[in-house]
Structure 1
Amino acid sequence: MERERKNSSLHVVMFPFFAFGHISPFVQLSNKLSSHGVHISFFSPQPNVTRIRSMLHPSPSSRIVPLTLPPVPGLPSGLASTSDLTPSQSELLKVALDLMQPQIRQLLSQLKPHFVLFDFAQEWLPKMASDLGIKTVFYSVFIALSTAFLTVPARLPEPGTYPALEQVKNPPPGFPATSVAAVKTFEARDFLYMFKSFHDGPCVYDRVISGLKGSSIILAKTCNQMEAPYIQYVKSQFNKPVLLAGPVVPEGRADKLEGKWADWLGRFEAKSVIYCSFGSETFLNDDQIRELALGLELTGLPFLLVLNFPANADASAELGRALPEGLMERVKGKGVISSGWVEQQKILAHSSVGCYLSHAGFSSVMEGLLNDCQLVLLPQKGDQFLNSKLVSGDLRAGVEVNRRDEDGYFGKEDIKRAVESVMVRVDEEPGKSVRGNHKKWREFVVDKGVQDSFIVDLVKEMEAIARISNT
């Protein structure tokens, strides 16, 4: 049963990095906190405000505070999120962010919030806020496994020296014994990005470690039910309060899918369709698109594949070059490939969709669980690799597509086997146990009382800390 709600005197500033993969989890938490009366001031540059406003629940206790992004050579004016920029331009957002310190200090001095929830890139914020008498909360939008594996002090046993590829493949000293014993070579190579510096600024690892060490509190978007060993390890590494927000499950949509996708999906049996999407900022190369499409064809199941491409790319031309010749004719009436924005939550909620093949972004994983879609995971970068290992390894609630160690190559047969293990051969291992665990974890995330209790407890803990600070 949902706990009784009450108004709170807390005032919290939300200050995510300027990427919607970070902004969205901050918005989701803002919505849950504001429903318990917490006052929210949400910081983001003016160009992001309209989109954020569409995501924030209307509430008298929530407001958006527009920021002015300072000009930086090479950063296009009028653009303020990674979704609108190339990877090299996105690095310049960190330069702009660092230049915003006087602006942020002035706003915090005026607003005087109890807490500032900040992101990985603002390692300068804890000292600034402390000088103003404001508590800082490092809000990690990543699972605890990601923090424990990559961004703890033990990752660099010798300060000032960064790890080599072979070192990054293995967990840091003291890491708990779980299903995650190592990562593949291609995954570790991707993780090396964290130790690279751009534009003479600190690397991601240094920013994260400074933020975690400097903050008053660490807030993790997870819970002990899912990640107890990793949470305990993080606590031991930083020796400060680690609060838990729970998985911050997105709210389901009451309205149903309408239009062409509803008509198309309505032609198929319940739980028979594969929905495949990699989000708005994860892009496959031509070889991956080809093998993925052929693998979906081999399953013999109906599928809806949504592919997106970098800003300014011609989606039609990209698809025309990447898709195998004759594929669209062979799958006509049974398979559709599209690009651009779709109503993903409504599609996943449609009765005919039974499998969700995704990049393993954790919000996407939660949407799949909420809507009772079997999970097939094909991570492409960063924390997605560790999300996939948590879900397929520790939780055993999904299946990861098998890939080659050195370069991450996967073929059509790898796609076919992964999908069939949860959609066709359900009486065999691993399908049977995966489906059973999927059911267990779905019951956990859809339990509104359990999920609401995480936020109730978080508000109480923050109120207690705020009271102590004021005495």
Structure 2
Amino acid sequence: MSGGANGASAGAAHIVMLPWLAFGHITPFAQLARKLVSADGGGVRVTFLTAAGNVPRVEAMLAPSAAGAVVVVPLHLPHVPGLPAGASSTAELSADGAELLKVALDGTRPQVAALLAELRPVAVLMDFATPWVHDIAAPLGLKALHLSVFSATAGAFSCVPARRLHGPHPSAHDLRSAPAGFPEGSSLATIPAYQAADLTYLFTSFDGKPCVYDRVLASIEACDGIVMKTCAEMEGSYIDYLSGQFGKPVFLAGPVVPEPPQGELEDQWENWLSAFPDKAVVLASFGSETFLPVAAATELLLGLEATGRPFLAVFNFPRGADTEAELQARVPLGFMERVKGRGRVHVGWVQQQHILRHRSVGCFLNHGGFSSMVEGLVAGCRLVLLPMKGDQYLNAALFARDLRVGVEVARRDEDGWFGRGDVADAVAGAMADGGDGDLRKWREFLTDDAVQMRFTDEFVRQLKELLCRMAEAGTLFPYFKKKNYVHQGSVCFSFM
């Protein structure tokens, strides 16, 4: 294939992106791609690499604003024993299958090497799963940048060199405390036992393969810089800590705010939601890859019932699951009759952004996914946070405690159990007078187009200056022509 992109400027800086094969990773990469190609007068174009089965969905994410400036190129995953044929993302797999998917992505190394040699981009944005990208990029004179899809808070707590203090396999007890040198005064100095137990997964090797922690550190330690989709205003102390831990330049792309949704809300939801007063409805939704166990889902539904408010609860189940049987196991006996007219339970995808922006929706109960919380904030919804795994716990603490937007559902320390009363209390607290905390402040910040464009423009400027310095030092292949002017103190080059 050629390195061109239909409709993109031939002089644009060409960047390749390779996210991990989970839509919680693919989506932020795609959001950043849209921001980059719209910045600096079209000065960036992107080639986006992903498994062949994901291509249609990724192209849909990029349309229409990034059409032409982002080209999605399929990678063909090799056969891995035990991995279902055609599997392209973690959304289709069990936890064990997701580990095998890492092995399959490792197997695309020859394809990625051939593409980089042919495309000759100026930089590659890689994810945690593929630290070997740097080994391919360096001989070609390309910058390999680690793009973290996690909050700086989550990365600072869990995946820094200071965690090596307890050896390669820290215990749950070790993980209850923040690593050495962690920002003073942080609300995350310690975490509950159940959260620490969950984080041990990061240090667990499957079939002798590198664990998540090892892949993250290998990727960052090999890279030429760290890209984070956050900003100093939201996570300044954690960003500084990460930078100090790794000794790498950090480039901040700003929090990735979703573009306004296209089209109209489906009639079934518009008609149902419009029957309720403004800000009355609670939307409970947990993303496409967070699956609530039976007991947790049952208590959630009973808690929503106990609020007395109208609600829409959205569940997802792993691919191949018996959806009807899974739902029946979670819905209490007589529940649907008791909430008829004010409560609905739905399985599968919904137009979440449209629903959040509907005038009748006032509360968003979610799993603490960074993108989900931002979606709720920009829609003006009060947040109730019920994280279920990994970085979600740390994201929820950041938003609820540091940023003062959101109420966490109370949990039992040792095992994370919560009851219906805890859910109802959290919703009541969020919806009470003053329950919005600093929501208005952060909503205005996130929806300020000038602020968001400043983040993107500054990121692109810093990236280009990095590449210019490489060209001056002779460490970059000659994709630049020297210009006869100075820009903000840096010699500038134009892309050939």
TM-score bracket relative to the smaller structure: over 0.9
Asked if structure 2 preserves the Cα contact closer than 8 Å seen for 1:278 and 1:358, the reply is yes
Q: Does 1:165 align with 2:163?
A: no
Match of 2:124 among 95, 116, 140: 116
| Aligned twin of 2:21 | 18
Distance 1:245 1:374 in 2: 26
| Aligned twin of 1:469 | 470
Q: Secondary structure at the match of 1:137?
A: strand
1:133-144, aligned counterparts within 5 Å? 133-144=141-152
Letter in 2 for 1:363: S
Asked if structure 2 preserves the Cα contact closer than 8 Å seen for 1:95 and 1:199, the reply is no
* Deviations, residues 130-168 of structure 1 (Å, cap 9, x unaligned): 11111011000000011100111001125x532111110
1:274-313, aligned counterparts within 5 Å? 274-313=282-321
Provide structure 1 residue ranges, at least 5 long, that are not aligned to the other structure: 1-5, 427-431
Match of 1:198 among 202, 206, 223: 206
Distance 1:467 1:59 in 2: 27
Q: Secondary structure at the match of 1:397?
A: coil
Distance 2:99 2:266 in 1: 39
Q: Secondary structure at the match of 1:449?
A: helix
Distance 1:156 1:255 in 2: 49
Following superposition, the deviation at residue 323 of structure 1 comes to 1.3
Following superposition, the deviation at residue 221 of structure 1 comes to 1.1
Q: Does 1:65 align with 2:66?
A: no
| Aligned twin of 1:437 | 438
Q: Does 1:174 align with 2:181?
A: yes
Match of 1:384 among 371, 377, 392: 392
Distance 2:372 2:382 in 1: 12
Match of 1:56 among 45, 62, 66: 62
| Aligned twin of 1:93 | 101
| Aligned twin of 1:261 | 269
Distance 1:10 1:182 in 2: 43
Q: Does 1:449 align with 2:426?
A: no
Letter in 2 for 1:438: L
Following superposition, the deviation at residue 255 of structure 1 comes to 3.4
| Aligned twin of 1:320 | 328
Quickly say closer, same or farther: Cα 1:33–1:297, change in 2 above 3 A: same
| Aligned twin of 1:42 | 48
Letter in 2 for 1:393: R
TM-score normalised to structure 2 length = 0.91
| Aligned twin of 1:400 | 408
Asked if structure 2 preserves the Cα contact closer than 8 Å seen for 1:83 and 1:280, the reply is yes
Distance 1:271 1:240 in 2: 45
Distance 2:322 2:105 in 1: 30
Distance 1:139 1:75 in 2: 27
Letter in 2 for 1:48: N
Number of matched pairs = 458
Distance 1:341 1:224 in 2: 33
Distance 2:12 2:349 in 1: 38
Following superposition, the deviation at residue 7 of structure 1 comes to 9.7
Match of 2:35 among 24, 32, 46: 32
Q: Secondary structure at the match of 1:26?
A: helix
Distance 1:286 1:239 in 2: 44
Letter in 2 for 1:98: D
Q: Does 1:252 align with 2:273?
A: no
* Deviations, residues 16-57 of structure 1 (Å, cap 9, x unaligned): 011111000000000111112211000011111011111113
Q: How large is the RMSD of aligned CA atoms in angstroms? A: 1.3
Q: Does 1:106 align with 2:114?
A: yes
Following superposition, the deviation at residue 290 of structure 1 comes to 1.1
| Aligned twin of 1:220 | 228
Q: Does 1:273 align with 2:294?
A: no
Q: Secondary structure at the match of 1:157?
A: helix
Asked if structure 2 preserves the Cα contact closer than 8 Å seen for 1:180 and 1:393, the reply is no
TM-score normalised to structure 1 length = 0.95
Asked if structure 2 preserves the Cα contact closer than 8 Å seen for 1:292 and 1:415, the reply is yes
| Aligned twin of 2:370 | 362
Following superposition, the deviation at residue 254 of structure 1 comes to 5.1
- State percent identity of aligned pairs: 49
Q: Secondary structure at the match of 1:64?
A: strand
Distance 1:469 1:115 in 2: 11
- 221-230 or 100-109: bigger deviation: 100-109
* Deviations, residues 236-277 of structure 1 (Å, cap 9, x unaligned): 101121010111111112533131011000000000000000
1:392-431, aligned counterparts within 5 Å? 392-423=400-431, 425-426=432-433
Distance 2:263 2:448 in 1: 20
Asked if structure 1 preserves the Cα contact closer than 8 Å seen for 2:169 and 2:204, the reply is no
Letter in 2 for 1:402: A
Letter in 2 for 1:52: V
Following superposition, the deviation at residue 8 of structure 1 comes to 6.7
Distance 2:12 2:463 in 1: 11
Runs of 4+ in 1 over 4 A off after TM superposition: none
Letter in 2 for 1:331: V
Letter in 1 for 2:232: N
